[in-house]
Amino acid sequence: MASVLELKNITMQFGGVVAVDDLNMVVNEGEIVALIGPNGAGKTTAFNVITGVYEPTNGEISFCGKPVVRNHPQGKMKAGYKGSCAEYYTGKPVISPTPDQLTGLGMARTFQNIRLWKTQTVFNNVLTAMHSKSSANMFSAIFRLNAEEEKRQRERTAEILEYVGLSDVANELSTSLPYGKQRRLEIARALALEPKLLLLDEPAAGMNPQETAELTAFIEKLRTDLHKTVLLIEHHMDLVMDISDRIYVLDFGKTIAEGTPSEIQANKRVIDAYLGVAEE
Protein backbone atom coordinates (compact mmCIF):
# COMPACT_ATOMS: atom_id res chain seq x y z
CA MET A 1 0.00 0.00 0.00
CA ALA A 2 1.40 3.39 -0.98
CA SER A 3 1.25 6.19 1.53
CA VAL A 4 -0.92 9.16 0.59
CA LEU A 5 -0.02 11.36 3.51
CA GLU A 6 2.99 11.11 5.76
CA LEU A 7 3.82 13.42 8.66
CA LYS A 8 7.35 13.34 10.03
CA ASN A 9 8.28 15.02 13.34
CA ILE A 10 5.62 17.69 12.91
CA THR A 11 5.81 20.26 15.71
CA MET A 12 3.65 23.35 15.99
CA GLN A 13 4.59 25.92 18.57
CA PHE A 14 2.67 29.14 19.19
CA GLY A 15 4.81 31.52 21.21
CA GLY A 16 5.79 29.35 24.15
CA VAL A 17 3.00 26.80 23.75
CA VAL A 18 3.71 23.56 21.93
CA ALA A 19 0.33 22.60 20.48
CA VAL A 20 1.57 19.58 18.55
CA ASP A 21 4.86 17.89 19.36
CA ASP A 22 6.71 15.45 17.13
CA LEU A 23 3.68 14.03 15.39
CA ASN A 24 4.46 11.12 13.09
CA MET A 25 1.62 9.72 11.10
CA VAL A 26 1.00 7.74 7.92
CA VAL A 27 -2.22 7.48 5.97
CA ASN A 28 -2.14 4.80 3.30
CA GLU A 29 -4.18 4.68 0.14
CA GLY A 30 -7.74 3.53 0.68
CA GLU A 31 -7.51 3.75 4.46
CA ILE A 32 -9.78 5.53 6.87
CA VAL A 33 -7.62 6.92 9.65
CA ALA A 34 -8.94 8.71 12.70
CA LEU A 35 -7.21 11.28 14.86
CA ILE A 36 -8.73 11.38 18.33
CA GLY A 37 -7.95 12.88 21.68
CA PRO A 38 -9.47 14.97 24.45
CA ASN A 39 -10.34 18.62 23.86
CA GLY A 40 -7.27 20.77 23.34
CA ALA A 41 -5.09 17.81 22.40
CA GLY A 42 -3.98 19.52 19.16
CA LYS A 43 -6.10 17.64 16.63
CA THR A 44 -7.42 20.65 14.73
CA THR A 45 -3.98 22.27 14.89
CA ALA A 46 -2.57 19.17 13.22
CA PHE A 47 -5.30 19.46 10.58
CA ASN A 48 -4.49 23.09 9.98
CA VAL A 49 -0.83 22.24 9.56
CA ILE A 50 -1.64 19.51 7.04
CA THR A 51 -3.88 21.82 5.01
CA GLY A 52 -1.46 24.75 5.06
CA VAL A 53 -3.40 27.12 7.30
CA TYR A 54 -0.45 27.05 9.70
CA GLU A 55 3.19 26.65 8.84
CA PRO A 56 4.66 23.98 11.15
CA THR A 57 7.54 25.05 13.35
CA ASN A 58 9.44 21.89 12.57
CA GLY A 59 8.98 18.76 10.51
CA GLU A 60 8.06 17.53 7.07
CA ILE A 61 4.86 16.45 5.34
CA SER A 62 4.85 14.26 2.25
CA PHE A 63 1.90 13.81 -0.05
CA CYS A 64 1.94 10.77 -2.36
CA GLY A 65 5.60 10.26 -1.57
CA LYS A 66 6.72 13.80 -2.36
CA PRO A 67 7.67 16.32 0.34
CA VAL A 68 5.19 19.21 0.17
CA VAL A 69 5.75 21.00 3.48
CA ARG A 70 9.01 21.35 5.38
CA ASN A 71 10.26 23.70 8.07
CA HIS A 72 12.73 23.97 10.91
CA PRO A 73 12.86 26.48 13.79
CA GLN A 74 14.10 29.80 12.49
CA GLY A 75 14.59 33.35 13.70
CA LYS A 76 13.15 34.10 17.11
CA MET A 77 11.75 30.58 17.33
CA LYS A 78 15.24 29.09 17.10
CA ALA A 79 16.14 30.10 20.66
CA GLY A 80 12.71 29.50 22.15
CA TYR A 81 11.99 26.17 20.48
CA LYS A 82 10.65 23.63 22.96
CA GLY A 83 9.79 20.72 20.65
CA SER A 84 11.98 17.82 19.63
CA CYS A 85 14.03 16.89 16.59
CA ALA A 86 15.04 20.48 15.80
CA GLU A 87 18.19 19.41 14.00
CA TYR A 88 16.54 16.94 11.56
CA TYR A 89 15.57 19.50 8.97
CA THR A 90 18.04 22.35 9.41
CA GLY A 91 19.89 22.90 6.20
CA LYS A 92 17.15 21.35 4.09
CA PRO A 93 15.14 23.82 2.00
CA VAL A 94 11.96 25.16 3.61
CA ILE A 95 8.76 24.40 1.70
CA SER A 96 5.82 26.52 2.74
CA PRO A 97 2.85 26.28 0.38
CA THR A 98 -0.43 28.19 0.73
CA PRO A 99 -3.61 26.20 1.47
CA ASP A 100 -4.80 26.47 -2.12
CA GLN A 101 -1.56 24.97 -3.40
CA LEU A 102 -1.93 21.98 -1.08
CA THR A 103 -5.55 21.60 -2.13
CA GLY A 104 -4.38 21.61 -5.73
CA LEU A 105 -2.21 18.57 -5.01
CA GLY A 106 -5.27 16.50 -4.24
CA MET A 107 -6.52 17.01 -0.72
CA ALA A 108 -9.74 18.62 0.42
CA ARG A 109 -11.06 19.40 3.87
CA THR A 110 -14.18 20.24 5.80
CA PHE A 111 -14.35 22.52 8.83
CA GLN A 112 -15.27 21.87 12.42
CA ASN A 113 -17.23 25.13 12.60
CA ILE A 114 -19.04 24.92 9.26
CA ARG A 115 -17.65 27.36 6.73
CA LEU A 116 -20.01 27.31 3.78
CA TRP A 117 -20.33 30.32 1.46
CA LYS A 118 -23.33 31.79 3.19
CA THR A 119 -24.90 33.92 0.47
CA GLN A 120 -24.73 31.14 -2.12
CA THR A 121 -27.13 28.34 -2.96
CA VAL A 122 -26.30 24.72 -2.28
CA PHE A 123 -25.67 24.20 -5.99
CA ASN A 124 -23.34 27.20 -6.25
CA ASN A 125 -21.38 26.12 -3.18
CA VAL A 126 -20.39 22.93 -4.98
CA LEU A 127 -19.97 24.59 -8.37
CA THR A 128 -17.72 27.33 -6.97
CA ALA A 129 -15.38 24.73 -5.51
CA MET A 130 -14.63 23.62 -9.07
CA HIS A 131 -13.16 27.01 -9.92
CA SER A 132 -9.62 25.91 -9.19
CA LYS A 133 -10.11 22.93 -11.52
CA SER A 134 -11.32 25.00 -14.46
CA SER A 135 -8.90 25.88 -17.19
CA ALA A 136 -10.63 29.10 -18.30
CA ASN A 137 -8.79 32.40 -18.05
CA MET A 138 -10.69 35.62 -17.42
CA PHE A 139 -11.18 36.47 -21.07
CA SER A 140 -12.46 33.07 -22.09
CA ALA A 141 -14.76 33.22 -19.06
CA ILE A 142 -16.16 36.63 -20.03
CA PHE A 143 -16.69 35.67 -23.66
CA ARG A 144 -18.06 32.24 -22.74
CA LEU A 145 -15.38 30.36 -24.69
CA ASN A 146 -15.44 27.87 -21.83
CA ALA A 147 -19.12 27.02 -22.29
CA GLU A 148 -18.31 23.34 -22.77
CA GLU A 149 -16.36 23.15 -19.53
CA GLU A 150 -18.98 25.18 -17.66
CA LYS A 151 -21.65 22.74 -18.81
CA ARG A 152 -19.55 19.77 -17.67
CA GLN A 153 -19.02 21.37 -14.28
CA ARG A 154 -22.73 21.97 -13.85
CA GLU A 155 -23.51 18.37 -14.73
CA ARG A 156 -20.86 17.15 -12.34
CA THR A 157 -22.28 19.37 -9.58
CA ALA A 158 -25.72 17.88 -10.13
CA GLU A 159 -24.19 14.38 -9.95
CA ILE A 160 -22.39 15.11 -6.69
CA LEU A 161 -25.51 16.58 -5.11
CA GLU A 162 -27.45 13.51 -6.23
CA TYR A 163 -24.77 11.27 -4.71
CA VAL A 164 -24.79 12.98 -1.31
CA GLY A 165 -28.58 13.27 -1.37
CA LEU A 166 -28.97 17.03 -1.57
CA SER A 167 -30.55 17.30 -5.05
CA ASP A 168 -33.91 18.32 -3.68
CA VAL A 169 -32.43 21.36 -1.90
CA ALA A 170 -30.00 22.37 -4.68
CA ASN A 171 -31.51 25.84 -5.07
CA GLU A 172 -31.90 26.61 -1.39
CA LEU A 173 -29.54 29.00 0.36
CA SER A 174 -26.76 26.99 2.01
CA THR A 175 -27.47 28.49 5.43
CA SER A 176 -31.14 27.55 5.30
CA LEU A 177 -30.28 23.84 5.50
CA PRO A 178 -30.50 21.93 8.78
CA TYR A 179 -27.19 21.33 10.52
CA GLY A 180 -26.68 17.75 9.38
CA LYS A 181 -27.25 18.65 5.77
CA GLN A 182 -24.85 21.58 6.00
CA ARG A 183 -22.16 19.15 7.11
CA ARG A 184 -23.03 16.91 4.20
CA LEU A 185 -22.79 19.89 1.84
CA GLU A 186 -19.31 20.59 3.17
CA ILE A 187 -18.35 17.06 2.19
CA ALA A 188 -20.00 17.50 -1.22
CA ARG A 189 -18.03 20.69 -1.74
CA ALA A 190 -14.81 18.86 -0.87
CA LEU A 191 -15.73 16.04 -3.28
CA ALA A 192 -16.07 18.60 -6.08
CA LEU A 193 -12.30 18.97 -5.95
CA GLU A 194 -11.93 15.24 -6.70
CA PRO A 195 -9.32 14.78 -3.99
CA LYS A 196 -7.31 11.66 -3.28
CA LEU A 197 -7.42 12.47 0.41
CA LEU A 198 -10.46 13.77 2.28
CA LEU A 199 -9.85 15.51 5.59
CA LEU A 200 -12.95 15.64 7.76
CA ASP A 201 -12.80 17.82 10.89
CA GLU A 202 -15.45 16.50 13.31
CA PRO A 203 -18.00 15.60 10.63
CA ALA A 204 -20.49 14.34 13.20
CA ALA A 205 -20.26 17.24 15.65
CA GLY A 206 -23.70 18.19 16.88
CA MET A 207 -25.43 15.22 15.25
CA ASN A 208 -27.86 12.88 16.99
CA PRO A 209 -27.21 9.08 17.03
CA GLN A 210 -29.48 8.52 14.01
CA GLU A 211 -27.64 11.12 11.92
CA THR A 212 -24.28 9.84 13.12
CA ALA A 213 -25.14 6.34 11.98
CA GLU A 214 -26.13 7.68 8.56
CA LEU A 215 -22.89 9.60 8.33
CA THR A 216 -20.87 6.52 9.29
CA ALA A 217 -22.45 4.60 6.42
CA PHE A 218 -21.86 7.54 4.11
CA ILE A 219 -18.12 7.78 4.87
CA GLU A 220 -17.82 4.02 4.40
CA LYS A 221 -19.52 4.45 1.04
CA LEU A 222 -17.03 7.16 0.03
CA ARG A 223 -14.28 4.63 0.40
CA THR A 224 -15.96 1.69 -1.31
CA ASP A 225 -17.61 3.65 -4.18
CA LEU A 226 -15.19 6.48 -4.77
CA HIS A 227 -11.97 4.94 -3.46
CA LYS A 228 -11.22 7.97 -1.30
CA THR A 229 -8.65 7.94 1.44
CA VAL A 230 -10.00 9.60 4.58
CA LEU A 231 -8.39 11.23 7.59
CA LEU A 232 -10.87 12.36 10.19
CA ILE A 233 -11.06 13.98 13.59
CA GLU A 234 -14.01 12.85 15.64
CA HIS A 235 -15.34 12.66 19.15
CA HIS A 236 -18.15 10.16 18.48
CA MET A 237 -16.39 6.94 19.42
CA ASP A 238 -19.05 4.73 17.80
CA LEU A 239 -18.27 6.27 14.46
CA VAL A 240 -14.52 6.15 14.96
CA MET A 241 -14.45 2.54 16.11
CA ASP A 242 -16.86 1.45 13.36
CA ILE A 243 -15.05 2.71 10.32
CA SER A 244 -11.43 3.45 11.14
CA ASP A 245 -8.68 1.15 9.97
CA ARG A 246 -6.23 2.79 12.27
CA ILE A 247 -6.41 5.40 15.00
CA TYR A 248 -3.91 7.95 16.31
CA VAL A 249 -4.49 9.33 19.80
CA LEU A 250 -3.18 12.75 20.78
CA ASP A 251 -2.99 14.20 24.25
CA PHE A 252 -1.41 17.56 25.09
CA GLY A 253 0.14 17.63 21.62
CA LYS A 254 1.86 14.27 21.98
CA THR A 255 0.98 11.02 20.27
CA ILE A 256 0.14 8.63 23.10
CA ALA A 257 -1.05 5.68 21.05
CA GLU A 258 -1.66 4.34 17.60
CA GLY A 259 -3.21 1.15 16.31
CA THR A 260 -6.38 -0.59 15.24
CA PRO A 261 -9.65 0.22 17.01
CA SER A 262 -9.43 -2.88 19.19
CA GLU A 263 -5.86 -2.08 20.20
CA ILE A 264 -6.81 1.48 21.08
CA GLN A 265 -9.81 0.36 23.11
CA ALA A 266 -7.51 -1.81 25.22
CA ASN A 267 -4.76 0.79 25.62
CA LYS A 268 -4.33 1.94 29.20
CA ARG A 269 -2.79 5.32 28.36
CA VAL A 270 -5.74 6.19 26.14
CA ILE A 271 -8.21 5.30 28.84
CA ASP A 272 -6.23 7.38 31.32
CA ALA A 273 -6.13 10.33 28.98
CA TYR A 274 -9.88 10.27 28.48
CA LEU A 275 -10.98 9.35 31.98
CA GLY A 276 -8.10 10.75 34.01
CA VAL A 277 -5.66 8.85 36.18
CA ALA A 278 -6.68 7.75 39.67
CA GLU A 279 -4.54 9.12 42.47
CA GLU A 280 -2.30 6.43 43.84
Partner 1 sequence: MKILLPYILSGVSVGGQYALIAIGYTMVYGILRLINFAHGDVFMVAGLVMVYLAASTPLYIAIPATILITVALGFTIERVAYKPLRTAPRMSVMISAIGVSYLIQNLTLYITGGLNKNYPEIPWISDKITIFGTTTTRVTLITPFLTVALCLILVWIINHTKIGMAMRAVSKDFETSQLMGIRINSVISATFVIGSFLAAVGSVLFFTNYPGIVPTSGSMPGLKAFVAAVFGGIGSIPGAVIGAFIIGICESLIKGLDTILVTQGVMASPFGFATFSDAFTFVLLIVILVFKPTGLFGEKQTDKV
Partner 2 sequence: MKTKKNLTSLILPVAFLILVFLLDQLIKPTDSMSMLLTVLQKGSVYALAAVSMNLLNGFTGLFSLGHAGFMLIGAYTYAIFTIPSQARDSVYQYFDALIRVSFPEVLSGALGGFGYVLGIALAVILAGAIAAVFAWLIGLPVLKLKSDYLAIATLGFAEIVRAIFQWQKLGPVTNGSNLLKSFERTSTFRITLGNGTVISFATFVPVLIAVICISLIVRLVNSTYGRAFKAVRDDEIAAEAMGINLARTKQLSFCTSCFFAGVAGAMMAMVLSIAQASNFKVAMTYEILLMVVLGGIGSISGSIIGAMLFISASEWWLRGLDSGSFLGINAPGIFRNGFRLVVFSLIIMVVVLFFRKGIMGDRELPEVIQGWRQKRQSRKRRAE
Contacting residues toward partner 1, per CB under 8 A? 44, 48, 53, 111
Query: Least Å distance between CB 53 and partner 1?
Result: 5
- 134-153 positions binding partner 2, by CB under 8 A: 134, 136, 138, 141-144, 146, 150, 153
Site string for partner 2, 169-208 (x = CB under 8 A): --------------------xx-xx---------------
Look up residue 84 and give its DSSP letter: S
| Cα–Cα distance, 136 to 141 (Å, whole number) | 6
- Among 130, 164, 197, 243, which residue sits at the site for partner 2 (rule: CB under 8 A)? 130
Q: Cα angle at 72 between 69 and 76, to 5 degrees?
A: 130
Question: Please, what is the minimum distance in Å from the beta carbon of residue 134 to partner 2?
Answer: 5
Taking CB under 8 A as the rule, does residue 236 contact partner 2? no
Q: How far is the CB of 250 from partner 1 (least distance, A)?
A: 18
What is the smallest separation between the CB atom of 202 and partner 1, expressed in angstroms? 13
Instruction: Give the nearer residue to partner 2 in terms of CB position, either 57 or 174.
Output: 174
44 binds, among partner 2, partner 1, none (CB under 5 to 8 A by kind): partner 1
Local structure of 245: helix, strand or coil: coil
**Is residue 129 close enough to count as binding partner 2 by CB under 8 A?**
yes
Q: Does 117 bind partner 2 (CB under 8 A)?
A: yes
| Vertex 157: Cα angle to 153 and 162 (nearest 5) | 150
The site map against partner 2 for 76-115 (x = CB under 8 A) is ----------------------xxxx-xx---xx-x---x
Question: Can you say how many angstroms the Cα of residue 276 is from the centroid of all Cα atoms in its chain?
Answer: 28
Task: Please state, in angstroms and rounded to a whole number, the distance separating the CA atoms of residues 86 and 22.
Answer: 10
Name which of 65, 64, 82 is nearest 73 in CA terms: 82
Among partner 2, partner 1, none, the one that 116 touches (CB under a kind-dependent 5 to 8 A) is: partner 2
4 binds partner 2 (CB under 8 A): no
Q: Are 41 and 239 a contacting pair, CB within 8 Å?
A: no
Calpha distance 247→173 (Å, rounded): 36
Q: Is the dihedral of CA 79, 81, 86, 89 positive or negative?
A: negative
Do the beta carbons of residue 157 and residue 130 sit within 8 Å?
yes
18 neighbors 227 (Cβ within 8 angstroms) = no
The CA-CA-CA angle for residues 231, 226, 157, to 5°, reads 100
Which chain residues interact with partner 2 by CB under 8 A?
A: 51, 53, 98-101, 103-104, 108-109, 111, 115-120, 124, 127-134, 136, 138, 141-144, 146, 150, 153, 189-190, 192-193
